[in-house]
Amino acid sequence: MLELPDYQLRQRDYLIRISQAITAQLDLPGVLSLVVRYAVEIVAGNYGFIALHEESDDELRIAVANNIAPEQYAEFKPLLRVLGTPGATAKERARAVLRIADRLHLPLRQMVSLPLLLRGDPIGVIVVFRAAVNVAFTLDDQALIEAFANQAAVAVQNARLYQAAVQEQQRLNAIIEQSADGVMILDWRWRITSFNRAMEHLTGWPREEAIGRPCAEVLGIHNDQNINICLTACPLQRLPRMANPTVEGRITTRDGRERYISSRYSPTYGSDDEFLGAIANVRDITAQILEDQQQATFISVISHELKTPVAIIKGYASTLSRTDANWDIATVRDGLNVIEEESDRLNELIGNLLDVSRLQAGGLRLRFGPVDLPALSERIVQAIAATTPTHFEFQLRFPSGFPPVHADEERLRMVLSNLLSNAVKYSPEGGVIRLGGWAEADEAIVYVSDQGVGIAPEDQPRIFDRFYRVDNSLGRQTQGAGLGLYLARAIVEAHGGKLWVESQPGRGSRFIFTLPLELRSLPVETAAPPLLEQE
Ligand code: ADP
């Protein structure tokens, strides 16, 4: 076997180490330092550097050096300019080196420089100096260094590609992260590899916990039949493949909220048509779904609520107008009473609907003035008591000297009438209905309580929603469009107050609201009943 000369063996050894370093690390200065150190060593030099063309201005700048301190780099500028000038003579180079040696007191007596070439284009230079006076660099030395120059060029190329890839990745990450829609990236096993902030918000899953899990576990989209369609009908697994499959359904967030989402997938497939992964674009469509549901409820409730009185009116009117029947006066009066009541109901419903649409169009307009709340309450209670069966007892509980409230009297009448008629409607056994209040520093607190069926805790926040009616047998027996409390709350809030409920199922309910006082300074000494007083 042919024996290699010692320096060639060393060169081979160094080159192997450099290429290992290039593959093992992407730290460019680290690899270049190694290259320049070995290059200096192999040709028995004393100093050396690698300078690279800056992409911005194409000037050569020292990237790493061997035995030259960074604060000395500035002195090499004239030499770098000569090295970067095509056709510069050996004399010019020698003069530039001499000047540096002189200024830095360094024994830079011999120099060899070789370009770093990348596909024929110069991207920098490697320079080695010797301190010995009479030992010039040979062609062999140059050939040795050239191998290092090539390695350095590869390292630079790798690092630049890596840098570009990292920047691209960061740009993509930023776009994904900032997206208002939820974005998650899935691998070929449907496991989440990327999960943006909007996804965290939408699902309640922190990204650290979501990443690595199957998307069916994190998202778990359920259909109307409560089946997890991610497990049973994932569109990414379905054939024939759709271009941009979309799934809509309900998810339960990590913190127990229910949301409706639409998830669109952009899958990627390999050359053998194998699934490689997908990007999922997830949107919260809860508001839209609820709006659709409300619209459907609205139509069914309203048509029912409108049809019932119309049918009754029509029934009575056609019965009373029959020419073949000879009705006595009492029957006619009863019939006309029913017609009048049902017309009032229709009128009220239409008024409520108009108020709802006014509210949606930008709020209610109120005509404020001082209102004597106890007197108003008395009138309303009398009117309601007159049309209520006798197994109800109404009690008014206002202290004397109750200060006037700052309110729109007509709207306030609607709120009180609604709360009182609900108290009657939802107390099938009758009982005591109280309407009372007391004054605090700048507001009045008013309540209407009953001993009726009460409201389950889970329904309590929802009864103030538009068209919401508790789904129980009483709800089905009683008439109502689910608008009364929605409007009552809107009216109270338009006054700057609050309306809420306290209730125990089977024991009764108490609706409480606040209103501003006309004169807000003087606190009125009144006895405030405890809110959880036994009815
Ligand atoms: P409506 O009475 O027309 O259905 P509301 O908005 O006035 O509409 O009330 C919404 C729902 O709240 C009712 O359907 C009923 O289930 C419940 N509710 C209201 N007031 C009472 C009450 N005093 N006691 C029990 N349930 C009530």
200-243 pLDDT tens trace: 999 999 999 999 999 989 998 998 888 888 888 787 776 556 66
Residue 396 has pLDDT above 90, yes or no: yes
- Give the pLDDT mean for 186-211: 94
Nearest-CA residue for atom 7 of ligand 1: 484
Contact residues for 296 (Cβ-Cβ < 8 A; gap 6+)? none
Residue 521 has pLDDT above 60, yes or no: no
pLDDT of residue 1: 46
**Ligand 1: residues within 6 Å at CB?**
418, 422-423, 426, 450, 452-455, 463, 468-470, 475, 480-486, 509
| Local confidence band at 52 (pLDDT 50, 70, 90 cut-offs) | very high
Residue 10 has pLDDT above 80, yes or no: no
Q: How many Cα atoms are found within 13 Å in the side-chain-facing hemisphere of 505?
A: 9
Contact residues for 262 (Cβ-Cβ < 8 A; gap 6+)? 246, 247, 248, 282, 283, 285
524 C-alpha to ligand 1 centroid (Å): 32
Mutate to test the pocket of ligand 1, among 419, 422, 459, 512 (most ligand atoms within 8 A of CB): 422
| Ligand 1 atom at minimum distance from 474 CA | 16
- Portion of the chain with pLDDT greater than 70, in percent: 93
pLDDT of residue 4: 57
478 C-alpha to ligand 1 centroid (Å): 10
Of the two residues 95 and 29, the one the predictor is more confident about is 95
| Ligand 1 atom at minimum distance from 454 CA | 25
Q: Return the structure tokens found at 28.
A: 């460019």
Whose tokens are 């759709």? That residue is 242
pLDDT of residue 520: 63
432 C-alpha to ligand 1 centroid (Å): 17
Of the two residues 353 and 189, the one the predictor is more confident about is 189
Sign of the dihedral defined by the CA atoms of residues 323, 329, 335, 337, in that order: positive
pLDDT of residue 397: 94
Question: Which of these, 2, 45, 39, 49, lies nearest to 18 by C-alpha position?
Answer: 39
437 C-alpha to ligand 1 centroid (Å): 21
Complete edge-to-edge strand list for the sheet that includes strand 47-53: 60-66, 47-53, 121-130, 110-118
pLDDT of residue 221: 92
Is-contact 283 181, C-beta < 8 A?
yes
Nearest-CA residue for atom 2 of ligand 1: 480
390 C-alpha to ligand 1 centroid (Å): 21
pLDDT of residue 427: 92
Nearest-CA residue for atom 16 of ligand 1: 470
pLDDT of residue 5: 66
| Local confidence band at 77 (pLDDT 50, 70, 90 cut-offs) | very high
121 C-alpha to ligand 1 centroid (Å): 82
What H or E segment, with its residue span, contains residue 335?
helix 329-362
| Local confidence band at 130 (pLDDT 50, 70, 90 cut-offs) | very high
Of the two residues 307 and 261, the one the predictor is more confident about is 261
